[in-house]
Amino acid sequence: MPQVLEFKLPDLGEGLTEAEIVRWLVEVGDVVAIDQPVVEVETAKAMVEVPCPYGGVVTARFGEEGTELPVGSPLLTVAVGSAEGDLPGDLSGSGADGAESSGNVLVGYGTGAPAARRRRVRPEAISAAAAPVAEAAPVPVTAPAPAPGPVPAPVPDEASGPVAVVSPLVRRLARQHDLDLRQLTGSGRDGLILRADVESAIRAAANGTAVAPSVPVPVSRPASGPAPVSAPVAGERIPLRGVRGAVADKLARSRREIPDATCWVDADATELMAARAAMNGAGGPTAGPKVSVLALLARICTAALARFPELNSTVDLEAREIVRLPAVHLGFAAQTERGLVVPVVRDAQSRNAESIGAEIGRLTEAARMGKLTPAELTGGTFTLNNYGVFGVDGSTPIINHPEAAMLGVGRIVPKPWVHRGELAVRQVVQLSLTFDHRVCDGGTAGGFLRYVADCVEQPALLLRTL
């Protein structure tokens, strides 16, 4: 007889405790292969395709698209054949107990075998396998309901009274915006309240217009005395979750735990820009990707960290120790449609400017596509923040906890500058260093920043000091 195995949302690493279902990649009745991606979820770090470690027939899915699930919650159940003929096709198990499983649950850790083509299995073929799982689980989301048919009975709202709502997503959207569902007129069949109805009510509240109630709601109050005062209309509420929530938590923790200080300096970047132009023009039209200013600044940072290793460290609060880190995993701030993310260039200290630039380009493209993995977004030891792309000169950035420092770079613009004793128009940039005052004093931080500025002003200095 087939064996029903439950696949739970795995630990996606780096302390992530929940994920939101973005898109199901399989349906109930589909045949899945070992390590085939079955659902796309969004964590606080990135969009991730989650592969199932079992091969067999999907008998149930848990959670609709848009639902947040904690790690360890059931995702789906799979009927795995224990003997030949139990399931359609060749799905007999190869393990000791007959259950197909790779034991892997994260993208990139599978067997590497190509995913089998999805195919629908007759309901009668999986009826014997769809037995309840031993431990209690949420009500599964099965195949789509047939179009004609009665509307499910209204579900009581959290406050009181029946409401014609069947979708948990609609109810959650209403709660997030403090909407009383009893006051809405449903546009669905038999007055069913749809997501479009809630979104229309949200827009109406934002514009200050009233929403017509479907049924007058009686208000209980004493026979005498003043009528209750209506609560003021609440403003728009945006949940702090996903990337925005993760950023908020990290920034707040940084401010709570790290006694930071900032120093800054203006630097003449004219020679750096000239060196970049020479590098990009030396290879001719058949040369590889152009070297960016960010790549050059990243290379300068790795050289500076070699001279001032105190800033490539972290603080172990429990042990009350400063931990100097042997490798430089350089993070760089990147703005995407999903919010601010910090991809990490691994082992940047062993790369030249071209290699760093190529990796920055790859990670930036993955960030724009929402395809960065948790491993590519974590483990940084020092961050480079080029806020000059926003057209600003300076900033006092918040350290990316648990790192010890961040270098901020403003825009590079023509400014009057005294060059070789004469006033001239030069390309000037402001550099700022925010550092953890526990790992070093101002002298070390100032020395680091001064070295970076000197390399910006005289790129040849970098070659002489390597």
Q: What is the pLDDT of residue 244?
A: 74
Q: How confident is the model at residue 465 (pLDDT cuts 50, 70, 90)?
A: low
What is residue 30's DSSP assignment?
A: B
Q: How far is CA 213 from the centre of its chain?
A: 39
Q: What is the pLDDT of residue 20?
A: 85
Question: Rounded to whole angstroms, what are the CA distances from 33 to 10, 53, 57, 110, 128?
Answer: 18, 8, 9, 11, 20
Q: What is the pLDDT of residue 388?
A: 93
Q: How confident is the model at residue 233 (pLDDT cuts 50, 70, 90)?
A: low
Side-chain-side CA neighbours of residue 335 (13 Å) = 6
Mean pLDDT over all residues of the chain?
78
Residue 58 pLDDT exceeds 70: yes
What is the crossing angle of helices 442-457 and 270-282, to 10°? 50
Take residue 275 and report the two structure tokens written for it: 């060196």
Lowest average pLDDT, out of 56-65, 162-171, 392-401, 451-460, goes to 162-171
Residue 422 pLDDT exceeds 60: yes
Q: What value does the mean pLDDT take over residues 67-73?
A: 88
Using CB atoms within 10 Å of the CB of residue 30, give its burial: 0 to 12 exposed, 13 to 18 middle, 19+ buried.
Answer: buried
Lowest average pLDDT, out of 176-185, 392-401, 410-419, goes to 176-185
Full 3-state SS string of 184-212: CCCCCHHHCCCHHHHHHHHHHHHHCCCCC
E-state strands within 269-348: 313-316, 321-324, 330-332, 334-336, 339-341, 344-345
* CB distance 29 to 56 below 8 Å: no
* CB distance 171 to 181 below 8 Å: yes
Question: Rounded to whole angstroms, what are the CA distances from 168 to 7, 42, 175, 310?
Answer: 23, 19, 11, 51
By C-alpha distance, which of 102, 74, 55, 62 is closest to 10? 74
* CB distance 104 to 35 below 8 Å: yes
Q: What value does the mean pLDDT take over residues 41-57?
A: 82
Q: What is the pLDDT of residue 131?
A: 43
Q: What value does the mean pLDDT take over residues 155-165?
A: 50
Provide the 10 A C-beta neighbour count for residue 21.
Answer: 22
By C-alpha distance, which of 325, 326, 343, 347 is closest to 334? 343
Q: What value does the mean pLDDT take over residues 333-350?
A: 88
By C-alpha distance, which of 109, 107, 91 is closest to 99? 91
Q: Is the dihedral of CA 353, 358, 364, 370 positive or negative?
A: negative
* CB distance 273 to 412 below 8 Å: yes
- Rounded CA-CA distance 432/434 in Å is 7
With a CB cutoff of 8 Å and minimum separation 6, the contacts of 287 are 280
Indicate the pTM of the whole model.
0.58
Q: What is the pLDDT of residue 179?
A: 82
Lowest average pLDDT, out of 102-111, 176-185, 392-401, goes to 102-111
Q: What is the pLDDT of residue 130?
A: 42
Classified as helix, coil or strand, 180 is coil
Take residue 242 and report the two structure tokens written for it: 């996903």
Q: What is the pLDDT of residue 335?
A: 84
Residue 140 pLDDT exceeds 70: no
177 catalytic, yes or no? Answer: no
Take residue 273 and report the two structure tokens written for it: 């820009």
Q: What is the pLDDT of residue 162?
A: 55
Q: What is the pLDDT of residue 15?
A: 57
Q: Of these residues, 177, 329, 401, 437, which one is catalytic?
A: 437
Per the model's pLDDT, the better-predicted residue between 180 and 451 turns out to be: 451
Question: Rounded to whole angstroms, what are the CA distances from 311 to 28, 315, 447?
Answer: 52, 11, 11
Strand partners, 181: none
Q: What is the pLDDT of residue 91?
A: 43
Q: How confident is the model at residue 186 (pLDDT cuts 50, 70, 90)?
A: confident
Residue 10 pLDDT exceeds 70: yes
Q: What is the pLDDT of residue 209?
A: 57
Q: How far is CA 441 from the centre of its chain?
A: 34
Per-residue model confidence as pLDDT tens digits over 287-324: 667 899 999 999 999 999 999 999 999 999 999 999 99
Angle, CA of 145, 149 and 155, to the nearest 5°: 75
- Rounded CA-CA distance 408/301 in Å is 11
Per-residue model confidence as pLDDT tens digits over 342-372: 999 999 999 999 999 999 999 999 988 888 8
* CB distance 49 to 17 below 8 Å: no
Per-residue model confidence as pLDDT tens digits over 80-136: 874 444 444 444 344 434 455 555 554 333 334 444 444 454 444 444 444 443 333
By C-alpha distance, which of 377, 371, 361 is closest to 247? 377
